[in-house]
Chain A
Amino acid sequence: MHELGVVFRVIRQVEEIAAENDVTRVESVTLSLGEVSSVIPEYLIDCWKWAVKRTEVMREAELKIEPIPAITHCDACGTDYPTIPHGKICPRCGSGETWLKQGNEFIIKQIEAE
């Protein structure tokens, strides 16, 4: 729902990193994006295409997205299970004593630049 906001944030960070590294042109930015990070990759790319045109060093930069699967851990029986189909309730033992092990990440992984 807040794709445009996070795109602005990513752009600001990439511009900082570009300045620190004497970058003249950013070719691509790779994000590691958790499956349940509440950001929809397609919307993110649409916002990206619009927003980078307003910048200097990253006007043509491509946004690459690497998904991270969401996994929940059950404290009651020790199982790790995929979050998307099962949610908060453990499919093995039915317990609700579970927590998200991974899948809400939103990380700038790397930048290709010259």
Chain B
Amino acid sequence: MGDLRVIEVKRSIFEDNNRDADRLRDQLRRENTLLINLMSSPGAGKTTLLRRTIALIRDEMKLGVMEADIDGEVDARAIEAAGAKAVQIHTGGMCHLDADMTRQGLAALGSEAFDLVVLENVGNLVCPAEFDTGAMRNVMLLSVPEGDDKPLKYPLMFKNCQVALINKCDTLAVFDDFDCERVKARILDRNPTCRVFFISAKTGEGFEAWTDWLREALSQFRGGKLDAPVHFDA
């Protein structure tokens, strides 16, 4: 046995992920591929949102989707059926994706062949909001049945997104205590520049504004005018 020595490290775990995320953003800029990170609770409608979105924009841009789930491949098959290429990433029990796992998923997908890649993060309002994946834009999806108090309970998720989509607006008549103005005010209170869209992935309500935002983001990205988001822990 040799002598013990102390190695001073002083390295932040999150800084390490932030560095990976910045490297990934540089790679994606070179590939001219816009990466969007989509986050929500399980069952908020991420896959249904993507299927309808793909149907509306697939003739304008080449789309890829990375489905991150703890297990299974139901979502990837549903996305392929809608007309985009999909890869399933199994997180093996992990509750979120970090930048390095995202990079591996992009390599499996072949990200350079796409204009837009959407990362469907693990269904969870807590952990994905703490790890920058390297995406240029973070979109969170909240569904009406979950309640308008979610921005109060999961503030980090609503702080770290650039777009909040309020889904299942076709059910507002049933969930009549959900207040659209109140949820919007609660989101903007935490994140004043967040764009909030009210949609229904089932009926298509609100999809014009949402897909226009996507087209605009892609056009800004290609023109080199889309700024990187601030790091999640900043």
Contact = CB atoms under 8 A, between A and B. Distances in A.
B5 A10 contact: no
Contacts of B7: 17, 21, 23, 110-113
Interface residues of A, number: 25
Interface residues on B, range: 20 to 34
A38 B94 CA distance: 15
A38 to B, nearest CB: 7
Interface in B1-49: 1-14, 16-17
Contacts of B12: 105-108
Contact of B9 (A2, A5, A17): A17
B162 to A, nearest CB: 21
Given A9-B13, A17-B9, A2 B4 contact: no
A81 B14 CA distance: 25
Interface of B: 1-14, 16-17, 93-96, 98, 124, 126-127, 130-131, 233
Interface of A: 1-2, 4-6, 9-10, 13, 17, 21, 23-24, 27, 38, 104-114
26 contacts: A1-B95, A1-B124, A1-B127, A2-B95, A2-B130, A4-B94, A5-B127, A9-B16, A9-B17, A10-B13, A13-B9, A13-B11, A17-B9, A21-B7, A24-B2, A38-B126, A107-B10, A108-B9, A108-B11, A108-B13, A110-B9, A111-B6, A111-B9, A112-B5, A114-B4, A114-B5
